[in-house]
Chain A
């Protein structure tokens, strides 16, 4: 069995190889291959900073294998990660600030939460008019079992002062140029929720370096950006953290705006909970299908709510039929669904999926347009061709 130091050395050894191992300024003249060990077949949305999307046809299981789990980075990944010297500080508006080593963290009672993690920008590539940012389509989402101590327990040990209203996360993301650091905060109520973790494991294994080794926040049901990676600092604040990735980043307009319109940052609110949404895994867009009997399948999720039904249309949304929901479920996790369909005749078809949650939210025909393309959740659709 590998020691933690050996494990870290192994991770550190892949730092360059695991990203796109090209020196600065070389990409314009070099002929690089995209090599990201362990992430074979993933869609490269960005090689630097590394952003990888799961292709829809990889969505086959309730728990997403780590190799298929999307990667979202706002900065360079840490160039070195040393489990022996890594420390996590807990401070700010607390009575007893303290620091933990990884060994200390591993001795605390561990809890497991199965969570669907989705990037707030997933689906941005479908927004019209187009908006800037990583042009994710369906696959900046995955489901995993995250394990580690409760943030509640860490904060309770420190003793939160009555002035403590928000909890800030800061990790080891390496900041280039004058880019603002990736720091975010969540309200104290969510921080103290018993399902919010400082996760050290994913699907029963230590976090992979792309996913925040050795520890990350896990804020279940919320946008992925809330679950900061490579965590080194937890700080209790008396107000929401003020920084680029809290404002103007990751906010939605308070008022509806016409597509293409502008928004006053002071008339926005932070994005928190994920929206009700389903995606079609198979058939994939543009498929030419030999058989008239098709298994249409995918996944549906709803942040802190539960998915109660998924409907499928095979006639461009004219009629809808209930899909069968998978038996595997957990509070913050997606439900797999499928629908067996017999195509009446060869030809072109538009297949759609629409999720409904237990709070009465239904996946809309059109997503709310916003200048950053957050929380895209329009009814999913693929065009396919059934052959003779």
Chain B
């Protein structure tokens, strides 16, 4: 082998090593991102299930005093029944968002009943529900961030070339169709 051929082989070898590294790294990164998105979703699911378990206790605790607010209680109960862990992410997001709104409405109504506000068990449940709602919000943010990273990675070179081979698909974020991704700026009239 002449020195020229050896140098050319060396150059091709280095370029190949770099290319192979980028391909392997892209594959490993996408697999890791998919696992993280799965885990982030599982962490949301755990809290949704906890909220599903807690809601009947809250409704039962306030039902006796709030008999004139039957529609509020019925709304919470109906949305709790709509919880379906096997449903599509977007459907679960819509149900979760509606449940959160109904729970907030219920807790706002509870504020009008001094007897309930001061009841230790109601207070305790109220704090627990609020804790779960905050947890859902935090974990939803993390899940959406993780999905964004995964979808962005799949769309980049060289992962975009591998996506067809390995069947990588962009994933939906945990948002409802009704939630606009870009909000209209608030119009303020001056003068």
A and B assemble together: no
